[in-house]
Amino acid sequence: MNILLRILILIATSIVFTSCGNSSDSTEPMTSAKPETGMAGDGQLDLIVEYIRKQNGLPAMAAVMVHDEQLIEKSAMGKRSVESNTQVTADDQWHIGSNTKSMTSMVAALLVKEGMIRWDSTIEDIYPELIGIMLPEYQKVRLDELLSHTSGLPSNIPDFDAYFTDQRELNVQRQTFVEKVLVLTSTTTRGVYEYSNIGYITAGAMLERVSGSRWEALMQIYLFDPLAMTQSGFGAPNTQGNLAQPVGHILDDDDNWTPVDPVVEDISDNPPVLGPAGTVHASLDDMAAYIGLHLKGLRGESVAGFLNAQAFGKLYTPFPNSNYGLGWIIDDQVILHDGSNTIWFAIMLINAEKNIALFVVTNAADLEKGEESKASKAVTELLTELGKRADAAFQ
């Protein structure tokens, strides 16, 4: 979800700035002093991540930095669950939430490249059988409008809880989902930006229709396999209940973090039908490969096996009266996105001028608190430190 846009744009326009406010951690002792920022690759990132994690009272945090397509440093500190002493590792997997949207847009671009679909393919082009059933204002909505949140479709899924128990194949669920949402009254005007999970699910269903493959299979074929993202998948990272991976956390009524067991609780992630809008999990290495790809694209380079410079540019061009392209918030030579399924929080930030790409994540979220959120404060502060470390090392 694009929840912290104002904070993110502040980071994007000035990646080096004064640290954000602090929130004390009532459950763990603070380190005696804040570690020196240092420079990227100096081996001190663990100390910084741990300090910021404890300072903001989070279960765990992780970060990775890429410079010139090379993974420079990564770190993961804290616990997989606050109810266990099992520590996270740098090889663990993390839920990335709506950062998934950039991946769906990337897959769409690759299908456009192959001629399976066009950016101006409309809903009625892909679903002619729904003409006369869908509302007339949706018939001419294009694929790129769905991916830029300018389609006019409503924001969120109706009858959300029903999809947790739906046992049909996911491509069947998404096709019937499209039939249901295309009769919903719009909450905005086509051409006006309004963040829409529905729009992304509809776009994913269109990709499924033209390719004959589930969105999950398209992600594997077009992104995960070519980028060797072998530790990426869908839904909660750990579904075995054995803490083989981190679990997400929510705040209870007493302001304490509570782990969400994916074995017994649906809220460990959104229902799978929402996949194209935000159900991916990935390791730090996998995210480094992904953001490294977009670092090259943002610098105006073509990448063999993926897209040429012009096709990358389509993804990074904001739509009129908007700062959103196709799966990315755009600010000059910076692209970024955030994501949360309400129990994790993650941000990607790519800066072409500084030639760096960053990914920061925590296995907790309290985003309803806005700028007072522990998760958002910590992630923002860690992004700032990473930016300073990059500047010290590469400029």
Model pTM score: 0.92
In angstroms, rounded to a whole number, what is the distance separating the alpha carbons of residues 180 and 160? 12
In angstroms, rounded to a whole number, what is the distance separating the alpha carbons of residues 148 and 150? 5
pLDDT tens-place string over residues 53-63: 999 999 999 99
Q: Which pLDDT does position 32 carry in this prediction? A: 67
Q: Which pLDDT does position 120 carry in this prediction? A: 98
Would you say residue 364 has pLDDT above 50? yes
Would you say residue 292 has pLDDT above 50? yes
Q: Which pLDDT does position 16 carry in this prediction? A: 32
What average pLDDT does range 33-41 have in this prediction?
Answer: 95
Tell me the two tokens of residue 205.
């269903």
Which has the higher per-residue pLDDT, 164 or 47? 47
Q: Which pLDDT does position 30 carry in this prediction? A: 52
Please report the domains of the chain, with CATH numbers, ordered by start residue.
5-98+230-394 (3.40.710.10), 104-218 (3.40.710.10)
pLDDT tens-place string over residues 229-283: 999 999 999 877 789 999 999 998 888 999 998 877 767 888 899 999 999 999 9
Which has the higher per-residue pLDDT, 4 or 68? 68
Which residues 6+ apart lie within 8 Å of 126 measured at CB?
A: 117, 206, 209, 210
In angstroms, rounded to a whole number, what is the distance separating the alpha carbons of residues 56 and 247? 18
